[in-house]
Structure 1
Amino acid sequence: MHADFPLLKEIILFLVAAGLVMPLTQRARISPVLGFLCVGLLIGPYGLGRLTDSWPALELLVIDDPAGVATVGELGVVFLLFMIGLELSVAQLWAMRRLVFGLGAAQVGISAVAIGLIAYAFGNAPGASVVLGLCLALSSTAIVVQLLSQQLRLSTAAGRAAFGVLLFQDLAIVPILFLVGILGAGSEGPVLLSGLQAIGSAILIIAAILVIGRLVVRPLLRIASASKSREQFMAAVLLLILGTAMLTAAAGLSMALGAFLAGLIFSGTEYRHQINSDIEPFKGLLLALFFVSVGMSLDPLAVWSQLGLVLVSALGLIVLKALILYPLGRAFGLSTPVAAEAAILLGEGGEFAAVAITAALAVGVMERELGQFMLLVVVVTMFLTPGLAALARWTGAALARRAKGADAPLAAEDAQERVVIGGFGRVGQMLARTLEESRIPYVALDLDPELVAEHRRRGVPLYFGDASRPDVLDRLGIHSALAFATTMGQHGASEHVVRAVHRAWPAVPVFARARDAEHARRLIACGATGAVPETTEASLRLSLDLLSGIGIPEEAARAIVDERRNELMS
């Protein structure tokens, strides 16, 4: 049966690894990326594969066809780029334009030049130096965003700065992969002329795909969705993704670029959230397979004699990127604690560096020994990321305390458009997590000093204060808030808060948690925009009302809340 079913053993080993790695990493609260890299190293030819001559039984645990696994794993990169394009929001990019296209672009550009010059100074070829400079300038979106989300810190100033830089880095991978393809093409004639011709052809192809796609995609998806068959809809989506990827590949560009363009086209349709939900499992498994294949390609013994240099290079990369990002952060208006925290947090290499290096090895831009060395450097820095996050948080807090601003409420002039949450108990924390996942900034108040201290140690924007006092809310800049949400369950206290906020700031939408239907009616009479009776489902509805009330499309808000409901029910 094995002979008739290619990669059967490899598929079984991968599914066993996925079934074990994902739960273990979730329990340990570390990124699955690191787990899959370790699994790939273990079951690859340079792990247990080295021992099969002495212990033939180990062949059952070793993947025999790394090249085949890597080929399938490349689909993970295709779907990852598709998801990046799908999740891009023009409104979000515009709102964060200073951090994304200002700080992010400066960080990638300056870091790439500095790292590339160092690589060239060590005797590497110009093409390899350019690729190394660009890919090592990138950080790990998967690990950093997961860490910030787990700690409810995406809405902090440092979290928003890091996310803005990471967003530009995600955009940068598309031209980086395109450049790798140009360098690997080996066109005759002047390199600059060949590059300009390739770029011109690529622009025409990209423009044609975007124009035709916008005319074709929506009608096709409408026909597929009208069938009421999830399978037919999924088949249409996969056809459009892989079809676009094949078109760009046939034109001499990368499949990943085609998938990214498909994501951009889908992002402008009303089907984007359903597609996001349906594609996520495919993307997760295939991307996991890609990282397993990267782990299998690692050969630590090949650079064992240079292990000290690997560690020094990893630390040097972290320090160099941090030293570049910190002054850039200050130049773009970040405070000293925020700039320091973001700089340390983004010092590591990332998954896209592995993608670019793997692509460069495939087209011959980089020698295998150099690729092995740099892949190990990247992997080491990724393993250090949780420690970097802790160091970044400690450094930011220490600098803030030195500035005597760690425990003071935000001044009104420092406030940005955000949601203000009154009360940070069970419902308040659920609201905060929902806002985190929607990339919506918030700030919270609570009167429990131990609760405040616990969450502030984790970097949560929670302050000690009475949400019923207008002067405290004014210090938080509630006059420019997107909305105010009170999660207090007591009858008198919640009504007093709603009445006070509505009287002082009638233009600010107020959403309230109510004990029962009668309490909800009284809260609305006091000025609440929406009031939802208590229960788990009611808190989910409050999240839905809040997201819709501050301008998130209802379909998007419902998709976010449905995901939260599934998590609570699982």
Structure 2
Amino acid sequence: MTTIANSQLLQAVALLGAAVLVVPVFRALKLGAVLGYLFAGVLVGPFVLGWFTDPEAILGLAELGVVMFLFVIGLEMRPAHLWALRGTIYGLGLCQLVACGAALTAVAWALGAAPRVAFVGAMGFVLTSTAIVMQLLSESGELSRPAGQKVVAILLLEDLIIVPLLALVAWMAPAHERSATGIPWLAAITGLGCLLALLAAGRWLLEPLFRVLARSRVREVLSAGALLVVLGAALLMQLGGLSMALGAFLAGVLLSQSSFRHQLEADIEPFRGLLLGLFFLGIGMALDLHMVREHLLFVLLGVVAMMLAKALAIYAVGRALGDSHADAMDRALLMPMGGEFAFVLYAGAAASGLMSQEDNARFTAIVVLSMALAPLLSAAVHRLMPKAARPVLPSDVPPCLTGSILMIGFGRFGQVVSQSLLARDIDVTVIDTDVEMVQAASDFGFKIYYGDGTRLDVLEAAGADKAQVIAICVDSRSVADTIVDIGKESFPNATLMVRTYDREHALRMVAQGVSVHVRETFESALRFGSMALVQLGATPTEAEAIADLVRRRDAERFARELEGIDWATAGLANFKRPRPVPWTTPTHQPHPSDTLR
């Protein structure tokens, strides 16, 4: 029995079972997935059911979920857009950091902590949980809106500030401990060197790497390459003493203009979701209920006072810098918690002798409780506030799709189709699996990305759910059929336009509900025939009239063939019988072209 209880497989089943049972309940109660994961973690942790006794082991692995989440966010943040946020980062972000640090230090001091301990405890609480805030923004749809982008900018600054904070803790350490911690400036130089190395790799190595991997046409290799970039960037930043999440975020930003960004996002998404949920479970397990019980008054007062002080400071700074009441209130309700980097800061302070282990445990409990309560507080206040007091912000156009057309396939057919759209200044997003085509088209200024159009996750990453038209211009009948099946099921609001191979393929597309389709050679062949007639002496008007007659006869013949199909025999019994195309003449005389495909 002991062997079974200690089985890693049993622990994995317990974690998955807790998440599967608890999280849907919390989502149904409109409390959010984050709070569900936290509650499930407390339930299976060492202080309730006791199924897990080492939450740190879980958190060590689960932190990769935060890393991958920041990578995906980075993919949506082009360098130009990030540069546009510099005013928010160094203006609003820095003011909020200073104001919250001062207010929280005063609160911790008033609770009885020594001045230095109060400062370290406060600065740890200033570092908001990136994972929780990003998840809440994602669930509410605010991530791509102006208010959400301000929060992202502030979180980025907080990720950056952890390095000077660690150096400051080493400098503040007692003299007998400081010599053992090394030279903080050397650590800062190492971190800067690792940062420059990551920027150089992103600038000159990543795009050629993915080009080589894509040529192999092995899906697993490209997925492995995506994981290598994310984890490699995180490891490089960790070696430099920086945040792993910051490294992944920068890697995402560097790849945000890459032709492979949609494919990378689709490959990372399954790992990100699972590991991020595991991270929240680990945070719930880390809540030391024995410590909370022993220091109940200090912990409860600390949670309430520090969350209130941080919320008030965030609101005051926002209003002072010109934010509306609604925007400042939203940010104050979203960010009144501590974060995962507080654990790193407190551990460093305890190791240097600046903080006792008891102080470390008490402030850690305060941070964990705040992370658990903040999503619940935000949901409760938003539910109670009148909707009129919360104006709806205009949604930004998603960076992955600024036009209204998503084109799949950019061969000869797709290139010609794009000319008409570009002539009207319509911004077209294109995905293709031909690496050489992607590179060549990108060199000519086309917005084209590497991506497999038969994968739902790739289509979603490319913005198919926002597209008005999905133009399927691939040169394979089977691939087109697969994309149509996905499109009809997952993107019902988009109009599907399909390049069909021949009459049989066109009939099948109509049977599947595709109303807009073009046989790839039909119109060009008609044009060729008209030119031949002109060369034989016909006038251009006569040639065009004959072409119109052939089109009409073809439409009539197509309608009769639709009426004559046995849909059950054809394997299409589940599709609605299409409405016949009206004939343009009351009667139809046999014509030699009726035998043509």
Compute the TM-score of the two structures, normalised by the length of structure 2.
0.59
Aligned partners of 1:370, 1:299: CA distance in 2, in Å?
13
**Equivalence for 1:169:** 155
- 94-103 vs 554-563, which deviates more? 554-563
Task: Say if 1:246 and 1:143 are closer, same or farther in 2 by CA, change over 3 A.
Answer: closer
Query: Does the 8 Å contact 1:111/1:137 carry over to 2?
Result: yes
How far does residue 95 in structure 1 lie from its aligned partner after superposition? 4.0
Correspondence for 1:288 among 231, 252, 277: 277
2:207 is aligned with what amino acid?
A: R
How far does residue 252 in structure 1 lie from its aligned partner after superposition? 5.2
Query: Does the 8 Å contact 2:93/2:157 carry over to 1?
Result: no
**Equivalence for 2:490:** 569
**Equivalence for 2:230:** 241
Correspondence for 1:360 among 328, 346, 356: 346
Aligned partners of 1:250, 1:46: CA distance in 2, in Å?
34
Query: Does the 8 Å contact 2:302/2:366 carry over to 1?
Result: yes
Aligned partners of 2:270, 2:167: CA distance in 1, in Å?
29
Query: Does the 8 Å contact 1:2/1:8 carry over to 2?
Result: no
2:161 is aligned with what amino acid?
A: P
Query: Does the 8 Å contact 1:127/1:183 carry over to 2?
Result: no
How far does residue 45 in structure 1 lie from its aligned partner after superposition? 1.4
Task: Say if 1:239 and 1:214 are closer, same or farther in 2 by CA, change over 3 A.
Answer: same
Task: Say if 1:569 and 1:175 are closer, same or farther in 2 by CA, change over 3 A.
Answer: same
How far does residue 97 in structure 1 lie from its aligned partner after superposition? 4.2
Correspondence for 1:297 among 279, 286, 301: 286
How far does residue 176 in structure 1 lie from its aligned partner after superposition? 1.1
Query: Does the 8 Å contact 2:62/2:275 carry over to 1?
Result: yes
Correspondence for 1:559 among 454, 458, 461: 461
Query: Does the 8 Å contact 2:45/2:55 carry over to 1?
Result: yes
CA deviations on 1:199-250 (whole Å, 9 max, x unpaired) are 1222123212321342222111111111121100111222233334334444
Equivalent pairs counted in the alignment come to: 425
Alignment of 1:245-256 (within 5 A): 245-251=234-240, 255-256=244-245
How far does residue 153 in structure 1 lie from its aligned partner after superposition? 5.9
Aligned partners of 1:200, 1:299: CA distance in 2, in Å?
37
Query: Does the 8 Å contact 2:162/2:242 carry over to 1?
Result: no
**Equivalence for 2:13:** 12
Alignment of 1:166-205 (within 5 A): 166-176=152-162, 179-180=165-166, 183=169, 194-205=183-194
CA deviations on 1:340-388 (whole Å, 9 max, x unpaired) are x2354235205xx134325633773554443443344334444243444
Aligned partners of 1:109, 1:24: CA distance in 2, in Å?
39
1:36 is aligned with what amino acid?
A: Y
**Equivalence for 1:70:** 59
CA deviations on 1:164-197 (whole Å, 9 max, x unpaired) are 0343223422431674477479897679992222
* Aligned CA-pair RMSD: 4.6
Alignment of 1:115-126 (within 5 A): 115-120=104-109, 122=111, 124=113
Task: Say if 1:194 and 1:144 are closer, same or farther in 2 by CA, change over 3 A.
Answer: closer
How far does residue 107 in structure 1 lie from its aligned partner after superposition? 0.8
Task: Say if 1:183 and 1:293 are closer, same or farther in 2 by CA, change over 3 A.
Answer: same
How far does residue 136 in structure 1 lie from its aligned partner after superposition? 1.8
Aligned partners of 2:119, 2:332: CA distance in 1, in Å?
24
Alignment of 1:113-512 (within 5 A): 113-120=102-109, 122=111, 124=113, 128-139=117-128, 143=132, 160-161=146-147, 163-176=149-162, 179-180=165-166, 183=169, 194-251=183-240, 255-339=244-328, 341-342=329-330, 344-350=332-338, 353-357=339-343, 360-361=346-347, 364-365=350-351, 366-381=355-370, 382-388=372-378, 391=381, 435=396
Question: Larger radius of gyration, structure 1 or 2?
Answer: 2
SS at match of 1:364: helix
Query: Does the 8 Å contact 1:45/1:296 carry over to 2?
Result: yes
2:463 is aligned with what amino acid?
A: V
2:162 is aligned with what amino acid?
A: I
CA deviations on 1:232-280 (whole Å, 9 max, x unpaired) are 0111222233334334444555544543443343334222232122112
CA deviations on 1:485-530 (whole Å, 9 max, x unpaired) are 9xxxxxxxxxxxxxxxxxxxxxxxxxxxxxxxxxxxxxx9xxx988
Query: Does the 8 Å contact 1:26/1:32 carry over to 2?
Result: yes
Query: Does the 8 Å contact 2:167/2:185 carry over to 1?
Result: no
Aligned partners of 1:171, 1:221: CA distance in 2, in Å?
30
Query: Does the 8 Å contact 1:31/1:146 carry over to 2?
Result: no
Q: Is 1:45 equivalent to 2:31 in the alignment? A: no
Q: Is 1:33 equivalent to 2:34 in the alignment? A: yes
How far does residue 389 in structure 1 lie from its aligned partner after superposition? 5.0
Query: Unmatched 5+ residue regions in structure 2?
Result: 405-419, 427-444, 450-457, 467-485, 492-597
CA deviations on 1:444-485 (whole Å, 9 max, x unpaired) are xxxxxxxxxxxxxxxxxxxxxxxxxxxxxxxxxxxxxx99x9
Query: Does the 8 Å contact 1:248/1:257 carry over to 2?
Result: yes
Aligned partners of 2:141, 2:209: CA distance in 1, in Å?
39
Compute the TM-score of the two structures, normalised by the length of structure 1.
0.61
Aligned partners of 2:369, 2:446: CA distance in 1, in Å?
39
Task: Say if 1:392 and 1:101 are closer, same or farther in 2 by CA, change over 3 A.
Answer: farther
Query: Unmatched 5+ residue regions in structure 1?
Result: 50-61, 401-405, 411-417, 420-431, 441-481, 486-523, 531-550
Aligned partners of 1:295, 1:183: CA distance in 2, in Å?
27
How far does residue 322 in structure 1 lie from its aligned partner after superposition? 2.9
Q: Percent identity?
A: 34
Query: Does the 8 Å contact 1:134/1:176 carry over to 2?
Result: no
Task: Say if 1:100 and 1:335 are closer, same or farther in 2 by CA, change over 3 A.
Answer: same
Task: Say if 1:364 and 1:258 are closer, same or farther in 2 by CA, change over 3 A.
Answer: farther
Query: Does the 8 Å contact 1:317/1:347 carry over to 2?
Result: no
Aligned partners of 1:107, 1:319: CA distance in 2, in Å?
14
